[in-house]
Amino acid sequence: MALISKKEVRVRIAPSPTGHMHVGLARTALFNWLFARQAEGEFLLRIEDTDIERSEKKYEDEIIQGLSWLGLNWDGEVYRQSDRREVYKKYLKKLIEENKAYYCYCAKEELEAQRQEMIAEGLVPKYNGRCRSLDKVDAKKPSVIRLKIPEIKIEFKDLIRGKVEFDVGLFGDLVIAKNLENPLYNFAVVVDDEEMKISHVIRGEDHISNTPRQILIGQALRFQMPIYAHIPLILAPDRSKLSKRSNEVSLLEYKERGYLPEAMVNFLGFLGWHPEGDDEILDLKKMVQLFDIAKIQKGGAVFNQEKLDWFNNQYLRKLSAEEIYECLKPFLKENKIESPPSFIKKVIEVLKERMKTLIEFFELADFFFNLPEYDVSLLKWKDQSLPDVKIILEKIFEAFSGVSDSEFHSKKLGEILNSLINGTPRGEVFWPLRVALSGKNASPDPLMITEVLAKIETVRRIELAIGKI
């Protein structure tokens, strides 16, 4: 295998637009992108839409949107296999003319009968080569195009898995096209990789069985073999394979749930790879510096939702209230929140350390925009009686009402509450106030809430709580 210099590195992400863009594809794209950018090489996007019946434009659009959202910019145009049929046709004709491929006319029923017969004899089922030596092409009969496969072993070095070997004599002659107009996946991929000068093929381990077939096709066409690297699959918590047709793993579904692209990139990068050191918060620039494809693990990486939430929370904490507000804008419209931006930013400042996602803002912040509803019993702290709660709230109401608007801030109000404690448990004062303001048993510090609500609304809610008792 010829050595490839850094600047000759060309990789590709080559998805089929037959389902939602899933996190596995996003992680593969990220590893390709990091590898290319580190080498100052090129990262190409190729849409493999030869499966006409299952390919849909909406899925192609989703792939492009997903890569753009993650910041994984590609070099040059978007390639589509559907635009390259004449190229594949040229190479198919070449193989037939050189007697390396041939038309096969065996019906499905014949092939199944052959298969069952071989299984009954304890043999590995494969095509028996019946049409290999036919002299004439019968245009009237249905056919496929098969590549002649030699009885040899194929060996290649995988950057992640090391030496990999296949006995290709067990394959039988491979079907590489339905006809000259309709190449199959393995054939089109090999031609594309050669013509696009792809130096490294970095993809999921579910493609490893395709590799010897693609090497055989490349050898028949006298192509330069790329360097392969097969990365582990992303697994569900039960260690089953994630399906790309599940909305639960659609990349853009996470965008709609309020995850930040920086957090998703960081999370995906750590699925099956981890740099040296303890740093877990890495942006794309830092990941490019540290990425080492040889350190990708061989075993499957489990998708941990709690870890993704942790990453997202860490990135939200780093943003200012203004930046989070900008991210929230489309969600605010969707949730019909029409409060002044200045008020919303105050709410964000109070809640941002508690938020795991942008969408969670609306669950945490509902009481800022609407009067809270709660059962009166929630006002009690532990064994506190409702009459005692009422006395405390009345004292708070009276004290807060006497504070001027200019002094209505957490420091002043904190001094008032501390004076009311007077030897009683802190919770007997702060808990009823928290519930009166938020209607929740878990919320930010009530003094922080008062600063956002301001005097009129704070006093009103305390009065309403007194009225409930």
Q: Which sequence positions are flagged as catalytic? A: 244
Q: Are 311 and 246 in contact (CB under 8 A)?
A: no
Tell me the two tokens of residue 458. Answer: 């704070």
Q: Which residue pairs, CB below 8 angstroms and at least 24 apart, start in 131-135? A: 131/102, 131/103, 131/104, 131/105, 131/106, 132/102, 132/173, 134/102, 134/103, 134/105
Using left for φ > 0, alpha for ψ between -120 and 50, and beta otherwise, residue 71 falls in left
- Length of the chain in terms of residues written: 469
Backbone angles phi, psi at 145, to 5 degrees: -110, 125
CA pair distance 396, 38, nearest whole angstrom: 61
β-bridge mates for residue 42, sequence order: 10
Long-range contacts of 284-292, Cβ-Cβ distance < 8 Å, separation of 24 or more: 284/34, 284/71, 287/34, 288/34, 288/37, 288/38, 289/38, 291/31, 291/34, 291/35, 291/38
Q: Report how far apart the first and last C-alpha atoms of the chain are (Å, whole number).
A: 82
326-344 core/surface letters (b: 16 or more CB in 10 A; e: else): eebeebbeeeebeeeeeeb
